[in-house]
A = this chain, B = another copy of it.
């Protein structure tokens, strides 16, 4: 008998009602990517929500979370980012319930049980047996604390904690405390702020204001300043010290306390106003339902066939969810200027998200994508440059190119409305012509003086390899917009510059392939070796080869020739002119061999963005079957619905959006108006477009063995090309792919778009 219970449960699972009736948001599992390197945020958020309440278990974690349950929970802070690497950002205004008296400002507990859904996180705080649950509206966090011992209820709000503090106060990428203030304004209301600077983007100070209201009045309260506790004192003025407040409740009848924490980057009263506007009630479940609906409305734009496996649906809808956590919609919350334009922050980083996240959003919600681009242009207008990354209302940092240009070109070639492309061209030209100065990592194009004078970035600058490649790509994007606006002067100038990657193409041979992007000095001489200071006291020169990865051991993480990659990876990175790349590589056969070497030898890096397009490059040599083969292997080997199911930093959803496209069987090449077609992971996927039309991708004879496309029909007509235009999709219709268990010649004949410029 003992053995039968699991079996019954298993059967019960199988006879669950048809998934079709189940909302798509229920397949979202926020824990995917919370272990391993994913760094995702597991707390509650609305799509692109400003408030992101969630647990802080590891104050040096990027998301605040730790999957290791041996690590205690310190509290729940209201602002987070998701999936990022480098130094953490945010983790402000931390709330924590506790039992008993308040003897120390530190109150922590192990977690006994955790649950997370879209818009929801719940945990049991073992130490006091307190059940803590949270949900949120766009700018308000809503907590439900159920205490096991009525009359022994405590809550603290700590303004001195935040993620990524370091013992060296001015440490690079560390968040640094600037100030905080707290004021208990009534028997159930408290307000204040926390002001922090630094973090990954080394940004200027930002201030998170809050107002918190409790569902019942406290019986005692007090504040603290540094570590000194002041019972009954209701104000701690900002004197550059860490402050907080605690509240004790002695209501013996009721074991639940609800807390609403409105946040704002403007003021505590604005935070209070956000509560009044967004959550004018005390119904936790109602708010949770509203937030779930916000997610449902977005994720159900992509509808897969109901009988798809739960695992596949979980992976897919969680990927959509992760893609839409950031950037953050802060319209009305910009403390730097007033504008009628939307305001988005936490582009973190566009270098990650331009490739697949924004193209995915362009399919799901182009109006939202247009708003983001409008925000970028407003930032250019008032801050001087578009960001390549931005957080805490401050641009910074650029990893490679000024890739907001790619977002603009992508919108332009996909005919996105509502954007002032004239202004956009100015913003792009600013990037391309005006050096940003200082450490050249805040915005714009570092090494631009070199690039514009020599046609490449010399070894006088760090990251010269990927900067040169990315600037050439950016220039192509700029040229597309210039051409569309009839600005032929700029068009011709920047199309010529788009070939600048060839200036670093050195005809060296490595592992059977010839021609790699290699470092060159300002005098035009190739560089054969680079300095490696890893051995103390020795100036150690090492040969620079296409497999060299001199960072972070020889030089700092940001100081190599390529950012987070080597020449084998980056020498495939010419998204705007793959035909030109094939030619430089020695033609199709040589390119095929190069790609095979790349994948077979394990040079491909699944966990980082520069390789995103690489598996699809087979398309350009007439072998879309090989693209599909690799994509199937990559997804199956590296992605899952487990906690460690994201094979690298999710990077604001960049990894997740890549997965979503692969599962749909489409892949974008940002800045160009088409998608490459590969074997989908679902029998059917319907794109419910914002214009009201539907586009269906149906995989006939879909099975776990039939992973190759044999033939295709678009709206009933044979479709021989392995790529499809954005406009074709937007006009609605149906793409039927006939699947087979072996490769076919489908898609090999009609050439793919390359750089149309002579």
Contact = CB atoms under 8 A, between A and B. Distances in A.
Interface of A: 170, 176-179, 181, 183, 193, 195, 197, 204-205, 207, 235, 237-240, 266-267, 269-270, 272-273, 332, 335-338, 381-382, 384-385, 434-440, 444, 449
A437 B384 CA distance: 11
A237 B337 contact: no
Contacts of A270: 181, 237-239
A337 B240 CA distance: 9
A381 B336 CA distance: 23
A179 B266 contact: yes
Given A438-B385, A438-B436, A335 B269 contact: no
Assembly stoichiometry (copies) = 2
A178 B337 CA distance: 5
Contact of A267 (B181, B337, B434): B181
Contacts of A269: 181, 183, 235, 237-238
Contacts of A179: 266, 335, 338
A381 B169 CA distance: 12
Nearest to A269: B237
B437 A338 contact: no
A337 to B, nearest CB: 6
Given A235-B269, A384-B438, A434-B437, A240 B338 contact: yes
A113 to B, nearest CB: 39
29 contacts: A176-B337, A177-B338, A178-B336, A178-B338, A181-B269, A181-B270, A183-B269, A193-B267, A195-B335, A197-B382, A204-B336, A205-B335, A205-B336, A235-B269, A237-B269, A237-B273, A238-B266, A238-B267, A240-B332, A240-B338, A384-B439, A434-B438, A434-B439, A435-B435, A435-B437, A436-B437, A437-B438, A437-B444, A449-B449
A152 to B, nearest CB: 32
Contacts of A332: 239-240
Nearest to A384: B438
B337 A197 contact: yes
A208 B131 CA distance: 42
The 7 residue pairs across chains A and B that have the minimum distance between CB atoms: A437-B437, A240-B338, A436-B437, A237-B269, A237-B273, A205-B336, A238-B267
A138 B336 CA distance: 27
Contacts of A239: 270, 273, 332
A237 B267 contact: yes
B237 A272 contact: yes
A94 B178 CA distance: 28
A617 to B, nearest CB: 36
Contacts of A435: 435, 437, 449
Nearest to A272: B237
A338 B240 CA distance: 6
A608 to B, nearest CB: 28
Given A179-B335, A197-B337, 14 more contacts: A178-B336, A178-B338, A179-B266, A193-B267, A195-B335, A197-B382, A205-B336, A207-B335, A237-B267, A238-B270, A240-B332, A435-B437, A437-B437, A437-B438
A239 B338 CA distance: 9
Contacts of A238: 266-267, 269-270
A732 to B, nearest CB: 40
Nearest to A430: B438
Contacts of A381: 170
Contacts of A444: 437-438
A566 B267 CA distance: 49
A385 B178 CA distance: 20
Contacts of A204: 204, 336
A193 B178 CA distance: 19
A314 B385 CA distance: 50
A338 to B, nearest CB: 4
Contacts of A240: 332, 338
Contacts of A335: 178-179, 195, 205, 207
A195 B265 CA distance: 13
A449 to B, nearest CB: 6
A178 B393 CA distance: 14
Nearest to A182: B269
Contacts of A436: 437-438
A197 to B, nearest CB: 6
Contacts of A267: 181, 193, 237-238
A307 to B, nearest CB: 50
A237 B239 CA distance: 24
Nearest to A434: B438
Nearest to A169: B338
A240 B237 CA distance: 25
Contact of A440 (B197, B207, B437): B437
A32 B58 CA distance: 62
Contacts of A178: 335-338
Nearest to A394: B204
Nearest to A448: B437
Contacts of A207: 335
